[in-house]
Amino acid sequence: MADLSLEGRRRMNLHFSRISILICFLASMLSACASSRGAASFERDAAEIMAVLNQQVAHWNAGDIDGYMRGYWNSPDLRFASGGEVQLGWRPTLERYRARYPDRAAMGRLAFSDLDVRLLNETTALVFGRWRLERANDSPNGLFTLVMSRTPEGWRIVHDHTSSAN
């Protein structure tokens, strides 16, 4: 390969500098697009997750445990932990709710608060919150941590760990 003249080397350096600037510019634009797409996707996913939780509250307060359970993954692999016990499966979890809350008085009025949604990736979210039941003679309350997954039916709770403050 022949030696380049000083002028040839300067032109080549200028050419490579322009290409480097162009690459940096394009990389920053792609990064900005990905960030805004990520933010929009997060907002959409968080809204869908909140809608599931709001629907659960609405079903509960209407006395509809079956409707409340639609927020859970209908699978034998659903995991529900509460009161020192672990319940596996959608059907056993439904039966647990029916046994513990046999009527409207036992169900009371449910409210969630302090909700914190953290998307871990495109298909999994971690949700923390507080629950409270208002009933005629008491107001049990506590905390919950949910793992939610995007399923063909939408976002569903696949793991629920609920504790009681009482």
Residue 118: its pLDDT value, please? 96
Q: What is the DSSP string of 23-92?
A: HHHHHHHHHHHHHHHHHHHHHHHHHHHHHHHHHHHHHHHTT-HHHHGGGB--STT-EEEETTEEEESHHH
Q: Which residues of 58-95 are buried (b: 16+ CB within 10 A; e: fewer)?
A: ebbbeeebeebbebbbeeeebbbbbeeeebebbeebbe
Given a cut of 70, whether residue 80 has pLDDT beyond it is yes
108 vs 58: CA distance, rounded Å? 12
Residue 161: its pLDDT value, please? 98
Instruction: Set out the domains of the chain in order of their start, with CATH numbers.
Output: 6-164 (3.10.450.50)
Residue 39: its pLDDT value, please? 76
151 vs 100: CA distance, rounded Å? 28
What are residue 126's phi and psi, to 5 degrees? -115, 130
Where does the pLDDT of residue 24 fall: very low under 50, low under 70, confident under 90, or very high at 90 and above?
very low
Calculate the alpha carbon distances from 83 to 76, 87, 143, 149 in Å. Answer: 20, 10, 12, 24
User: To the nearest whole percent, how much of the chain has pLDDT over 70?
Assistant: 77
User: Is residue 73 within 8 Å of residue 99, measured between CB atoms?
Assistant: no
73 vs 126: CA distance, rounded Å? 15
Mean pLDDT of the chain: 87
What are the tens digits of pLDDT across the range 85-105? Answer: 999 999 999 999 999 999 999
Task: Count CB neighbours of 49 within 10 A.
Answer: 23
Write the single-letter amino acid at 57.
Answer: V
pTM of the model: 0.77
